[in-house]
Structure 1
Amino acid sequence: MRRLVYELFESLRIAFTQIWANKMRSALTALGVIIGIVAVTLMGTAIKGIDVGVDRSFSGFGDDVLYVTKWPWHEIDDWWNYRNRRPIRFEYARQINDWIATQPNSAIRLAVPVANRGTNVIRGEYRVNNIWTMGTTADYVRIARSEMKEGRFFSEFEAQAGSNVAIIGYDVADALFANESALGQTVRIRDQNFRVIGVAARQGSFLGLFSWDSMLAMPLTTYRRYFRLNDDNEIRVQVDATRMEAARDELRGLMRRLRQLGPEQRDDFELNEQGTIRKQLDPIKNGIAMAGLFITGLALFVGAIGIMNITYVSVKERTKEIGTRKALGARRRTILLQFLIEATSICFVGGTAGLLLAYGMSVLVGAVAPSFPLVFSAGLVVTGITISVLTGVFSGFAPAWQASKLDPVEALRYE
């Protein structure tokens, strides 16, 4: 055991001595490995970044919410069928809550009506266009996950009275009140003054998905006074996240009863959830993965061929040295280990350089495009190093095996 440990450390010393003595050759040899590790690392950071970005965008809306809507969130294959559906009535929220009150074991927790549309918000000479404006009830704060930077959500009294009060997102506040607090200030919406009573904390958005940052909320009674209702009405229903399937079945049955659908009639409403959006992003993640794997495989294949070739060259250059060491009693295992470690060391150095380069690129992308989060995790580092080492082992084994089989007499006579 002690002899094996000594041989291992001696092989490492010889390997790094050879790499340092042939720095340019080693760097060019490791280039394929560097490109492959950069590709696989950036692919991993992008895929993890998509998941984090989606979670961040939806974090303010709750992951235990089902959305009762007229339109589905997935691709529509029968547009006229969905177009002719009846609108979602806000009275359904009250009826669902009445049902919940009589069913203590229900998987449904709370129903909140929501109307939304894009509108312009003005403050003096400042103006922000197409802000996603939402009308809802005071209960909305119970299902939302968004925190307030300052101020509060509107009360039940303000909701019932139809007060002209508003809660604005972080980006809206930053655009209209860049150097001052928005709390207590007035904004104009449809030539009506609204008093800002709350500013949501910054949430962040991703790939154009909605977030609280670019939204405005007001009481539903106020909303209905100034806006005409459209097909975007919805009921957001908080459910028991541990009983999601049961909640879906219960809510579907309840909605069919409220809309008086017969057993043979199809649903004329849709139950959406955040998982639908995540599933739609799967092709993007799969595309990134396929492209990354192709580039990684091609680069590592080229790199492995280069490392194998250089290791063969190294064996030829040091044939006499191998013969001398064998004549002095070196085992085949010692020679095999020496060249195998040399090839693996080049890949390890290349993999480390690739990881450092990928980290620098991810930091640069994060600075240029902060809305696209790249997650550089410890798991990616371990994966990159493992791939590098395995590439070195597979590419260096054949020339190392050839070196270990050299006859010492023939090796000493080699010119």
Structure 2
Amino acid sequence: MIYIHLLLESFRFAFSALRANLLRTILSLLGVTVGIFSIIAVFTLVDSLERNIRSSLNFLGEDVVRVEKFPWIFEEDYPWWKYINRPKANFEEYKFLVDNMTQTAGITIFTERGGAVLKHESNSFTGGILSGVSYSHKDVYEIPIEKGRYFSMQEAESGNYVTIIGHLIAQELFPNQEALGKEVKIRGVKYRVIGVMEEQGASISGAPSADDFVYIPYKSFQKIYSSTGIFGVEPIIAAKSLEGDVGQKNLEGELTGLLRQKRGLKPREATNFAINRPTAFSSILDSIFGVISMAGWVIGSFSILVGGFGIANIMFVSVKERTNIIGIQKSLGAKNFFILFQFLFEAVFLSMLGGLFGLLLVYLLSFISLGSLELTLSFGNVFLGLSVSVIIGTLSGIIPAGMAAKMDPVIAIRA
């Protein structure tokens, strides 16, 4: 009970000091408020931006490796013409990998073509991303179908003229009507719509959105686009790793070995394909956002430092003003730790108050519309802001509180 009484009395002293010198306290707390606002605002912006960018890169697939001619990160001193002369992946290699791979949760072959034009009666959509995919594509990449269904095995193997379109395409081609069962023209060929995907919205990074995608069977794609020649479309083989395959090492090792075997490469011959992983982008993003977060700490630290000095100034003045009261408390039997805790609690209370105002400003900032970027104040950032406030309050109040605790009661009561 004595500790509860001590806490309540300390709170009462802190509130009385705040109310008695309201203007002085507010001006001193502005430093902590601005500091916490700066740090948490930067962290909130970085977290929201990172979440948005990583979400926009979901089209690359999580735990997925891709077999392509060109690597995403070019090797140093590697002749560019060797990349050009590399063979393209093909359907026979895909079938070989399907029959022999064991370290994968799914494998697919697909190819894409941007700038596709889709037409339905007098309506048209320009800029669609046409993707020819195998039946197993759904096992590797997420295709969020809102209405309709995915391709059947027979439709995929026969190369039927059926399609799954994005939400935006459905709105443009079929305003105020149901798209399922209708026909769209792609390069003069009629395709029947069997599915419409969920609305995804635009990405701040400009990455492709599911709203603009058009999926058709891979063999159907081959009928309307040539994959031969230097200007032909390039098929991509993608495989998803099993759970527990850290870094996709088992998947990558098996995939590399089997594909080298299929292409007849001798042990000393260089690999003529690239294994690309989305983790290459993740490491780049981690370094970029790490620098931005560090900049937020540097910017906010100066404001918090000023705020800490302001709170320390308040506490020194408060100790000076209440010296007589400290003497009376000690003469009535108050222990040193009671006086120490009383002033230290006041410093922490004032600092947390400034931190709460800073967090409130960040919360209000999250309601401002920034286009496709949605700001969200996370619980982790709230906890961080309050923790920093407590630390600043403790550091700012420890010296004044120690001075108050060490006062001689006789000298203090005469002040």
TM-score normalised by length of structure 1: 0.88
Q: How far 1:289 moved relative to its partner?
A: 1.1
Contact 1:41 1:380 in 2 (8 A): yes
In structure 1, distance between residues paired with 2:177 and 2:60: 27
Partner of 1:9: 8
Q: Does 337-346 or 238-247 show the bigger shift? A: 238-247
Residues 14, 175 of structure 1: alpha-carbon distance in 2 compared, 3 angstrom cutoff:
farther
The separation in 2 between residues aligned to 1:12 and 1:256, in whole angstroms, is 73
Aligned mates of 1:45, 1:176 — CA distance in 2: 39
Q: Deviations over 1:165-190 (max 9, x none)?
A: 22112233234334332222333333
Q: Are 1:390 and 2:394 counterparts? A: no
2:243 aligned partner? 241
Which residue in the other structure is 2:113 paired with? 117
Are the structure 2 counterparts of residues 189 and 319 from structure 1 closer, same or farther at C-alpha, using a change threshold of 3 Å? same
Q: Is the 1:87–1:231 Cα contact (8 Å) retained in structure 2?
A: no
Question: 1:274 and 2:278 equivalent?
Answer: yes
- Confirm whether residue 263 of structure 1 aligns to residue 267 of structure 2: yes
* SS of equivalent residue, structure 1 residue 174: helix
How does 1:104-143 map onto structure 2 within 5 Å?
Answer: 106-123=102-119, 124=121, 126-143=123-140
For residues 1-150 of structure 1, the aligned pairs below 5 Å read: 2-50=1-49, 52-54=51-53, 56-57=55-56, 59=58, 62-74=61-73, 77=76, 78=78, 79-100=80-101, 106-123=102-119, 124=121, 126-150=123-147
In structure 1, distance between residues paired with 2:45 and 2:263? 44
Q: Give CA-to-partner distance per residue, 1:264-301, whole Å, 9 cap, x none.
A: 22222111223222222112211221111112322221
Structure 1 residues 325-359: Cα deviation after superposition (integer angstroms, max 9, x where no partner): 33444333232222211111111111222222222
Q: Which residue of 1 aligns with 2:343?
A: 339
**Cα contact 1:73–1:277 (8 A) shared by 2:** no
**Unmatched tracts of structure 1, length 5 or more:** 101-105
Alignment match of 1:326 (pick from 327, 330, 340): 330
- Give unmatched runs, 5+ long, in structure 2: none
Q: What amino acid sits opposite 1:25 in the alignment?
A: R
Within 1, Cα distance between the matches of 2:253 and 2:357? 53
Deviation at 1:133, TM superposition (A): 1.3
Q: Which moved more, 1:49-58 or 1:305-314?
A: 49-58
Is 1:405 the equivalent of 2:406? yes
Q: Among 325, 349, 353, which residue is 2:353 paired with?
A: 349
**CA–CA separation in structure 2 for the residues paired with 1:266 and 1:38:** 54
Structure 2 CA distance for partners of 1:43 and 1:174, relative to 1, 3 Å: farther
Q: 1:146 to 1:376 in 2, by over 3 A?
A: farther
Paired position in structure 2 for 1:220: 218
CA distance in 2, matches of 1:136, 1:83: 24
User: Is the CA contact 1:344–1:396 (under 8 Å) kept in the aligned structure 2?
Assistant: yes
Following TM superposition, by how much is the alpha carbon of 1:307 offset from its aligned partner in structure 2, in angstroms?
Answer: 0.9
Report the secondary structure of 2:94's partner residue: helix
**What amino acid sits opposite 2:112 in the alignment?**
N
Q: In structure 2, how many angstroms separate the alpha carbons of the residues matched to 1:21 and 1:186?
A: 76
Match of 1:297 in 2: 301
Q: Does 2:154 align with 1:157?
A: yes
Task: Check conservation: 2:59, 2:208, Cα contact below 8 A.
Answer: no
> Structure 1 residue 76: deviation in Å?
5.7
Amino acid at match of 2:156: A
CA distance in 2, matches of 1:75, 1:9: 65
- CA shift at 1:389, angstroms? 0.9
Quick one: distance in 1 between partners of 2:301 and 2:408? 36
1:331 to 1:239, Cα distance in 2 relative to 1, 3 A: closer
For the structure 1 residues 108 and 324, does the alpha-carbon distance in structure 2 shift closer, same or farther, using more than 3 Å as the test? closer
Question: Deviation per CA, 1:342-392, whole angstroms, max 9, x where unpaired?
Answer: 11111111122222222222232xx433x3344433232222211111110
Which digits, 9 at most, give the CA deviation of each residue in 1:232-272, with x for residues without a partner? 42011233232332121011101111222222222221112
% same residue: 35
Question: How many pairs are equivalent?
Answer: 405
Coordinate RMSD, CA, aligned: 2.6
| TM-score, normalization by structure 2 | 0.88
> What SS does the corresponding residue of 1:218 show, helix, strand or coil?
strand
CA–CA separation in structure 2 for the residues paired with 1:114 and 1:174: 26
